[in-house]
Amino acid sequence: MHILITGGAGFIGSNLTRTILEKYPAYRVTCVDNFDPFYPRAIKEFNIKTFLADPRYRFIEMDIADNAAAALAAELAEPVDVIVHIAAKAGVRPSIENPMAYQQANVIGLQQLLDFARAQNVKQFVFASSSSVYGINDHYPWKEDEQLLPISPYAGTKLSGEMMGHVYSKLFGIRFLALRFFTVYGPGQRPDLAIHKFTKAILQGKPIPMYGDGSTSRDYTYVGDTVKGIIGAIHYTETPFEIINLGNNYTVSLKELISAIEEVTGKQAVVEQFPEQQGDVPRTFADISKARKLLGYDPSTQLKDGLTDFYNWFVANRELLTK
């Protein structure tokens, strides 16, 4: 099997690549990434450096949003069996400041890749969607058929992606699986995300920002569990279109998260409180019964264990991550 992973030098993409190369010796991976400057290129290069010597791995530096399907096809030496599309411009808050950039990267980028799949007869397409599409919705835990009320341009682009996938599934016979990720964390996590920022600040003795009163909560999902869900979607063959939550099925408040990080690091946090920010939702909480049924998804990593893995990774690579 030949798997094309976009955003493969990022947090989730590199963890997925590692698992595939380690556990599926007959599989090949082509990674496409444009090293978006949202966070340092050096971190993404570090994420993939151990793969480069593997003959089953190939890296292509390309911005899919700026290149037509034919340009990507010209770079590939062999047919693709499955596309895992993780590449996206990330971040709820920055999307409010620059919504057009998110349309270009997340909507046009997906369109180009769907056109590639159609032209190259790729029949399996796994799309990284987001829990942010639910917006403000108090029907917890969230099921996939909930009313969707996104409150940020980023969330809007992810919802648009799900619907475009449905169009291509209906018109062109591409199996499209939209996986709604819920606050993924673990080794390799992006530096803009709370667990990474808080750990770094605590270790440096700097204050951490807490937006609101600390009661907001998230369904934190360990990256290893998310990767298992993605691999389940890669192998799924039953129906032509599905939207599936990949969460952990319990929530943790911001105050509880900070306490857990303090326990893992052995240091006290200095907290600075700020007003709640636009685009943030008060709570995320996934119903994962559909993922269990269709993908055999069974998240098993508890928060403290996942935070310990992240902390050990951060300390081992502290020089790179604190530049």
Q: Mark whether 297 is an active-site residue.
A: no
Distance from chain centroid for Cα 232: 15
Burial zone of 293 (CB within 10 Å; 0-12 exposed, 13-18 middle, 19+ buried): exposed
Q: How many residues in total does the chain contain?
A: 323
Report the distance separating Cα 141 and Cα 172, nearest Å: 33
Helix, strand, or coil (residue 175) = strand
Neighbours of 41 (CB within 10 A): 12
Set 39, 57, 134, 154: catalytic member: 154
Report the distance separating Cα 86 and Cα 23, nearest Å: 20
Taking a C-beta distance cutoff of 8 angstroms, is the pair 209, 311 a contact? no
Report, in this order, helix, strand and coil percent for the chain, each rounded to 5: 45, 20, 35
Closest CA to 284 of 250, 255, 321: 250
Which positions are catalytic?
Answer: 154
